[in-house]
Amino acid sequence: MLHKYRKTALIEAEQFDGSDEMMKRYGIHEAKVPPMVTDLNLYLPTKEGNMVIKQDDWIVTGVDGEHWAIDKNIFERTYERCD
């Protein structure tokens, strides 16, 4: 049977501004090979491997300190600020 679920854990998040400071803090790095035609050549290390990240995406920190990126539009439709 199909059920609906709501996330219950609080997360921390900040919007990636492309700065060197944020790149250093989260270990974001450029592609080691020449980028393709797109500008998607920055990567955020995650538990599952490198994840493409672009400016204005949100960097989320989970309950175990892990990080992942969420597209700006998806983040704004999915999460609500609570502090």
Query: DSSP for the chain?
Result: --------S--EEEE----HHHHHHHT-EE-SS---SSS--EEEEETTEEEE--TTPEEEE-TTS-EEEE-HHHHHHH-----
Q: Is the pLDDT of residue 63 over 90?
A: no
pLDDT by residue (tens digit) across 37-48? 555 589 999 999
Nearest partner of 7 among 67, 68, 53, 63, judged by Cα: 63
pTM > 0.75: yes or no: yes
pLDDT by residue (tens digit) across 20-33? 999 999 999 987 66
